[in-house]
Amino acid sequence: MMQSRIPQSSQSGPHRRLDETVLRHLRHHWRSPVHDYSRGAFAELAEWIDSERPLVLDSGCGTGASTKALAARHPDCRVIGVDKSAARLGRAPELPDNARLIRADLPDLWRLMGERGRRVAHHYLLYPNPWPKAVHLMRRWHGHPVFPDLLALAGRLVLRSNHALYIEEFARALSLAGVIDVKVVSFETDDPVSPFERKYLASGHRLFQLTAELE
């Protein structure tokens, strides 16, 4: 198997414009239009999403292998795996009845759920693209203008990454948003939940998990 590299960042610590960027996004409601393909995918799932059962989101689910694992971990919930890559979703495993996959843009989906007043019980962000170049701060979820909408989904947020700086910045952004119940650990597992977790473990990377209880 090809060894994967830990993302190299041009930053030596949290981005120097992290605080001002996050605070600006927390103050101003983001109004960019939602893509038609996300709206269509959301509409197809709306009835399922509106059920009384608690929801679990697997945001950036890739092939959906983690969605399957999470559906087994949360049998009383409905689990939705979301990814924008048709190619990855095309390699999905067979899913149990309490799981569905949709192809949508995450910032769209998070806002559509918020508009509908939907909250989640658990929100998994497993190995989001790290965007390690300083110039790409706003592509990281905590630096993106959608960050307040992500927080508004509430529930128990679980973020995993092999990029320590991403986790550190995310924790800082949460603290700027007034979220105090945040825990960061470095962890090991012999039962990887997703393909990227498996790949990083095989390459000997250190893995980090942030959990936050969102109001």
Ligand X SMILES: C[S@@+](CC[C@H](N)C(=O)[O-])C[C@H]1O[C@@H](n2cnc3c(N)ncnc32)[C@H](O)[C@@H]1O
Min CB(128)–ligand X separation in Å? 6
**What does the block give as tokens for 1?**
């198997």
Shortest approach of ligand X to residue 205 CB, angstroms? 13
CB closer to ligand X, 22 vs 207 = 207
List contacts with ligand X (CB under 6 A).
60-62, 66, 82-85, 88, 105-106, 126-129, 194-197
**CB nearer ligand X, residue 115 or residue 181:** 115
Distance of CA 202 to the CA centre of its chain: 22
**Residue number, 34 or 215, with CB nearest to ligand X:** 34
Phi then psi dihedrals of residue 101, to 5 deg:
-115, 140
Q: Kindly state the tokens that stand for 155.
A: 């529930």
The answer to whether 12 and 208 are in contact (CB under 8 A) is no
Alpha-carbon distance of 185 to 3, in angstroms, equals: 24
CB nearer ligand X, residue 118 or residue 198: 198
How far apart are the C-alpha atoms of 168 and 212, rounded to whole Å? 13
Residue 50: which H helix or E strand, with range? Answer: none
Smallest distance, Å, CB 94 to ligand X? 18
Q: How far is the CB of 108 from ligand X (least distance, A)?
A: 8
